């Protein structure tokens, strides 16, 4: 089970929804979020931060450490911002901030085709998914490179 939480960036103009895999880590593990605009000039600290296409997530690694006993034994020793993000413990809801909204809208546009021509719908949905992930990889989103 994944819990979804929304976090507002430091400048207050944007927000992002996060998934917390199996609720291993609490929302307080996110110390700060910086959108591409407010991340400019922010010093990057590899010990506490992850960068994804201009967005910075600053984790409170002390809080993460307190909850690390909930991690699988093989991951406890590797506790890092990369582990938290890439293994889905605290990561975007979707591939990028707002992806869950954009992808739902895009799928909905294709859904009307399912009633009219199910075979074409399946083909179009498959093409959409492949092209979308290729575009997101090209755009530099970290989670688009998974798998």
Closest CA to 94 of 8, 18, 36, 1: 18
Q: Is residue 74 domain-shared with residue 137, that is, in the same domain?
A: no
What domain range includes position 137? 99-145
Q: Are residues 40 and 64 in the same domain?
A: yes
86 lies in the same domain as 124: no
What was the pLDDT predicted at 113?
Answer: 85
Q: How far apart are CA 9 and CA 112, in angstroms?
A: 36
The predicted structure's pLDDT at residue 4: 66
| Residues 4/21, Cβ–Cβ less than 8 Å | no
Rounded Cα distance, 144 and 133, in Å: 6
Report pLDDT digits (tens) over 44-58: 999 999 999 999 999
Tell me, yes or no, whether 40 and 62 share the same domain. yes
For residues 24 and 87, membership in a common domain is answered with yes
Residue 132 backbone dihedrals phi, psi, to 5 degrees:
-65, -45
Domain boundary at 67, 92, 117, which? 92
Total number of domains constituting the chain: 2
Residues 50 and 106 grouped into a single domain: no
pLDDT above 70 as % of the chain? 97
pLDDT for 34 = 98
């Amino acid at each position: 089970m994944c819990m979804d939480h929304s976090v507002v960036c430091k400048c207050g103009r944007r927000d992002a929804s996060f998934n917390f895999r199996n609720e291993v880590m609490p929302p307080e593990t996110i110390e700060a979020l910086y959108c591409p605009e407010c991340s400019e000039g922010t010093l990057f600290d590899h010990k506490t931060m992850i960068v994804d296409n201009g967005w910075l997530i600053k984790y409170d690694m002390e809080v993460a450490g307190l909850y690390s006993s909930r991690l699988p034994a093989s991951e406890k020793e590797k506790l890092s911002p990369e582990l938290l993000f890439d293994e889905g413990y605290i990561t975007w809801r979707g591939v990028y901030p707002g992806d869950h909204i954009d992808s739902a809208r895009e799928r909905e546009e294709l859904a009307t085709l399912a009633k009219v021509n199910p075979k074409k719908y399946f083909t179009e949905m498959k093409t959409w998914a492949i092209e979308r992930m290729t575009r997101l990889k090209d755009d530099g989103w970290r989670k688009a490179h998974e798998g």
